Structure 1
């Protein structure tokens, strides 16, 4: 403060001025100390799981009290890639080998009627948004090997001689926008871009499509969850399209979540309706061969602690609401979400099967499509991409959920490991599984997005056949 300003304040004004300055300095210092304390607490004491993953899995998971995080626990496996000659580890009685290598971030798979396999080489569109959440997401994507630009391409893989290796490869489609799910219906191939469901005519045996895609339904893009999936209904008359939320718990308001956190039912003429709601991020979808209804795997919310909330596998019927963002696991209230929606609590559907906290369940395929036999003869295969908000990490494997003859998971059964070994002894990731399907011989194909491979799992002792 200069001399002229001091004279204007006068002798009575100076103490008041200095008092205000002192309070300002103290307030700023307190904010800085609180921020530093929070950062130190984050690095020194991240939330550590008190339960094993298996305790929070099954038809009756252990749902404990939430441990709300302001600054999230961040524990994600650093991607190092596969050393030459190495593979994941298959369960006893199974074997694994590379079906295709040298791909560019392969995320999703689809088998055509002639046995050719389509693989979506894709990734998130450029992410927008700042703040701590945006910074964390960019940090995680880089460390987890997910920060590469999207190839925006679908590649065709063909195993013509039936030896379990795709010896033919061709670029099937380009010019797409973060494509993910693919499905055939009435001679049309539908592709779920991040911002629209599109389609092109398809003839069996085609190795490339040059037709300009026709938009069927526009989808709301942006936010945290970009992947859109599509499957045909059991009766072949409609399609189911999954659209994840744009945020963790609608922290940007529900208007930003319009037609998000939903599974949509779409007719070929372009009209549609919300089929199931309250699903934070439903990605993998498949038709249950017993019930004929769509099932999905869902990524649940973050920052409730390392033991909550469980990702899940569930049947979805028309009109179902699974509670997001207000409730999880069939009615447990998330106190962070305002305004509350008390009327929804009793109508929030409880999922059929918990897969464990933060496993990032993405891929889904049923036995029948996959024919591994024996103890894997009746159930669902789930690709778990792996956690970022849990210590220690969870997921990073493919698991199997046993089903009863009724077409529902066996009560009391826990997930069975099918394909593991994606992590090194030091906790780095050589790969991360995403989409899972059966090939023409019934072997399990697994898309490994950061390993840039598609793995093939088959019964040990068998040989591939045409």
Structure 2
């Protein structure tokens, strides 16, 4: 029985957070800290045996067995280093994915995608020899390379070179793009694909789309965008509340990836940015939330006026827009197996240079399952529901809080989320959970105005006044921004 496994394998001594911020849950949710002392946890997913795999930046890929608890929660046991960083691969820093059959593991550095034969029963790679499938992804700016596997293909997102990247106006630069490659062809080729010159373009003008996923019910392709910092418009600084972060719709799978002649849309960067706070903008007559505009630093030959930015033949506007600087990093669909609508989980990593910090929370965007689109309109400012957040985001300036990155959902409906600033993993669950598969298995591939989003009936779930963050602190300033 489940209870006997709990007593035998789950520690009865709760782990302690090593920061002072209060963590808050929406009503009906429970949580537990299941791992701490990690170096810099980023992307995570579940394998075919229900084991949790995670990229710990600077260390490699870690794997745990998941054991359920009587109260509906779970714990992690028997940690293994599945793949260790070495002199060849240098540093796995974010991306992780598994083949459709679960037998091949893919991990990214800033320059390459490597593959390993993988055995989920033992949580080991069956060969120490890896293969570089895609290369030449490196630039001197954003270093994450998000990986997502769907129907025999691998989708890869690469961000800009720095805050403002004029090279991103060229879709062939390999900057600020999402591309897709055939895995069958990648494995059969003698040489690795060149990311900049090969692959099919799903979208471009995407400054730094770290979160990337495909809707398992409709085939909709989605990405979340970290937008530009330190901007002004007509000489006035606007970067506290503009431009907004974005949820972008890249199209339907059968019309994009399965269409040989398809070339993805341009979402604006670096020519245009999306509006979040209209009143703070100079010359704002007729402007609405989510509309794209030009600003002082971004006028290019492609767009010199707001009208240019709203020309649908040139640029595609975001489906939803979020508060500036919330830094969405991971997204994962979750539909109730019993039917009805579900939503898209988003980890908001949080701001690094806003006077009043925002983000630092896990939220869910309600979706209409039939249409495959968010319930909210493109002009809505409250498009999501907060589930888990830090009560006092001012403490996050000193890294005294939980800073969400990777999100994964197991077969029992438990939501797992990691924090790179504190080196932790937490699991969240509701009473009874929403079982959608065998114990501990995953139902799909891994897919993150006010800070609390208007959530009511919440509860403080934990506080530790004794410890400090186990890391020396996130790298500050612009370099910290690049790690998003």
TM-score between the two structures when normalised by the length of structure 2: 0.67
Query: Given the alignment of the two structures, is residue 409 of structure 1 paired with residue 344 of structure 2, yes or no?
Result: no
Query: 1:222 matched to which residue of 2?
Result: 139
Query: 1:169 matched to which residue of 2?
Result: 79
**How far, CA to CA, are the matches of 1:316 and 1:463 in structure 2?**
29
Question: Going by fraction, where is strand more abundant, 1 or 2?
Answer: 2
Query: Given the alignment of the two structures, is residue 355 of structure 1 paired with residue 325 of structure 2, yes or no?
Result: no
1:92-146 deviation per Cα after TM superposition (whole angstroms, max 9, x unaligned): 1101111222222111111111110111001xxxxxxxxxxxxxxxxxxxxxxxx
8 A Cα contact 1:90 1:457, kept in partner? no
Query: 2:47 matched to which residue of 1?
Result: 112
SS of match in other structure, 1:202? strand
SS of match in other structure, 2:247? strand
Query: 1:366 matched to which residue of 2?
Result: 333
Query: 2:408 matched to which residue of 1?
Result: 437
Query: 1:246 matched to which residue of 2?
Result: 161
**How far, CA to CA, are the matches of 2:434 and 2:372 in structure 1?**
30
**How far, CA to CA, are the matches of 1:255 and 1:220 in structure 2?**
15
Do the aligned partners of residues 254 and 183 (structure 1) sit closer, same or farther apart at CA in structure 2, a change above 3 Å counting? same
Q: C-alpha displacement at 1:450, in angstroms? A: 1.4
8 A Cα contact 1:384 1:395, kept in partner? yes
**How far, CA to CA, are the matches of 2:42 and 2:386 in structure 1?**
20
The alignment yields a C-alpha RMSD, in angstroms, of 3.0
SS of match in other structure, 1:212? coil
Question: Going by fraction, where is helix more abundant, 1 or 2?
Answer: 1
Matches within 5 A, 1:331-346: 331-337=292-298, 339-342=300-303, 345=309, 346=311
Matches within 5 A, 1:394-405: 394-405=358-369
Query: Given the alignment of the two structures, is residue 325 of structure 1 paired with residue 305 of structure 2, yes or no?
Result: no
**How far, CA to CA, are the matches of 2:21 and 2:316 in structure 1?**
43
SS of match in other structure, 2:164? coil
**How far, CA to CA, are the matches of 1:463 and 1:231 in structure 2?**
24
Q: C-alpha displacement at 1:273, in angstroms? A: 2.1
Query: 1:44 matched to which residue of 2?
Result: none
Q: Which moved more, 1:255-264 or 1:96-105?
A: 255-264
Query: Given the alignment of the two structures, is residue 459 of structure 1 paired with residue 394 of structure 2, yes or no?
Result: no
Q: Give unmatched runs, 5+ long, in structure 1.
A: 1-80, 123-149
Q: C-alpha displacement at 1:279, in angstroms? A: 0.4
Q: C-alpha displacement at 1:442, in angstroms? A: 1.5
Match of 1:378 among 339, 342, 354: 342
Q: C-alpha displacement at 1:211, in angstroms? A: 2.1
Q: C-alpha displacement at 1:383, in angstroms? A: 0.5
Do the aligned partners of residues 461 and 422 (structure 1) sit closer, same or farther apart at CA in structure 2, a change above 3 Å counting? farther
Query: 2:174 matched to which residue of 1?
Result: 259
Q: Which moved more, 1:425-434 or 1:205-214?
A: 425-434
TM-score between the two structures when normalised by the length of structure 1: 0.69
Do the aligned partners of residues 206 and 246 (structure 1) sit closer, same or farther apart at CA in structure 2, a change above 3 Å counting? farther
8 A Cα contact 2:142 2:162, kept in partner? yes
Matches within 5 A, 1:50-89: 82-83=17-18, 88-89=23-24
Count of matched residue pairs: 353
Q: Give unmatched runs, 5+ long, in structure 2.
A: 1-15, 187-192, 194-198, 232-238, 257-263, 275-290, 441-484
